[in-house]
């Protein structure tokens, strides 16, 4: 062990635990910051009851309804649900086509952009109906009642919202992924290229004495790298909690 100016110099090769412990501490600290930051920003999917206690009706039946005013101040995202509490005499139509929405008429709408969520002919039956509609497409979503040739829609039973990406769709609402065809297996070992290399191949490491300067360099680089990771994480955490 060398002495300089009367003081002992700790060699990273002779004191490997010092380098390892400081590196592990920085890694653990950064991991905790990332976990805390992620948990702070995460929000669950939401259910919105359209019209709240007034339900889903036209102004002829419930004069106080104003669904566009109900939308104000709300942030809708993919994966959220709209709950329509109504009866069998009022329907729920969702469309991404603004022309269909303005006409209050979905009879000639494209099946790819318009859905009637409550089926059946209009009836005076006041049996309560609750219709849950998932938000599965970003951008403008339009809703209205399509019964009585759009008369209910024209009397206030309509609104539009803008859906943000948010956390994205949950697994339960995602469309099934398209199946892919696997490449056929080789007919014989002769079909395998001679230069084929396994995907997990690692170059062999030479075994030998490690120089003192190399050990110091590795310790310094590892610690500096972890510090570089910790600084932006801490800054992001401060911004997220502010």
Closest to 97 measured CA to CA, from 79, 81, 109: 109
- In the chain, the number of structural domains is 2
DSSP 173: G
What does each of the 242 residues of the chain score in pLDDT, given as a tens digit? Answer: 545 555 455 554 444 554 555 555 555 555 555 554 444 444 689 999 999 999 999 999 999 999 999 999 999 999 999 999 999 999 999 999 999 999 999 988 888 999 999 866 777 778 899 999 999 999 999 999 999 999 999 999 999 999 999 999 999 999 876 555 555 555 555 544 444 444 444 444 444 444 454 455 554 445 555 455 555 545 555 455 54
Q: Is residue 69 part of a domain?
A: yes
What pTM, to 2 d.p., does this model score? Answer: 0.58
The number of helix segments (H) and strand segments (E) in the chain equals 5, 10
Q: Pairing between strand 7-8 and 3-4?
A: antiparallel
Hey, what are 48's tokens?
Answer: 């919105």
Whole-number pLDDT of residue 142: 99
- What is the residue range of 110's domain? 47-168
DSSP string for residues in 3-58: EETTEEPPPTTT-HHHHHHHHHHHHHHHHHHHHHHHHHH-----EEETTGGG-S--
- Same domain for 60 and 142? yes
Shared domain for 164 and 64, answered yes or no, is: yes
Same-domain status, 70 and 156: yes
Q: What is the CATH number of the domain that holds 72?
A: 2.60.40.420
User: Does 159 lie in the same domain as 221?
Assistant: no
pLDDT of residue 177: 65
Report yes or no on 13 lying in a domain: no
Token pair 């206030």 in the structure block, residue: 156
Residue 141 lies in a domain: yes
């Amino acid at each position: 062990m060398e002495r300089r100016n009367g003081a002992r110099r700790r060699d990273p090769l002779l004191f490997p635990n010092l380098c390892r412990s400081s590196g592990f501490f920085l890694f653990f600290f950064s991991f905790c910051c990332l976990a805390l930051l992620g948990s702070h920003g995460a929000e669950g999917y939401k259910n919105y009851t359209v019209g709240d206690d007034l339900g889903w009706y036209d102004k002829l039946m419930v004069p106080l309804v104003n669904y566009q005013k109900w939308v104000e101040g709300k942030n809708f995202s993919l994966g959220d649900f709209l709950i329509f509490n109504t009866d069998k005499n009022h329907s729920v139509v969702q469309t991404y086509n603004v022309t269909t929405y303005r006409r209050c008429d979905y009879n000639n709408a494209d099946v790819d952009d318009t859905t009637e969520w409550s089926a059946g002919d209009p009836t005076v039956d006041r049996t309560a109906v609750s219709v849950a509609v998932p938000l599965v497409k970003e951008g403008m979503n339009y809703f209205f009642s399509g019964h009585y040739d759009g008369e209910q829609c024209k009397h206030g039973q309509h609104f539009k919202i803008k859906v943000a990406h948010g956390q994205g769709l949950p697994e339960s609402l995602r469309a099934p992924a398209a199946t892919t065809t696997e490449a056929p297996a080789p007919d014989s070992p002769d079909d395998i290229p001679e230069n084929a290399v396994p995907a997990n191949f690692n170059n062999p490491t030479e075994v030998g004495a490690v120089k003192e300067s190399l050990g110091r360099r590795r310790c310094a680089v590892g610690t500096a790298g972890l510090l570089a990771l910790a600084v932006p994480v801490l800054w992001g955490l401060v911004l997220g909690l502010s």
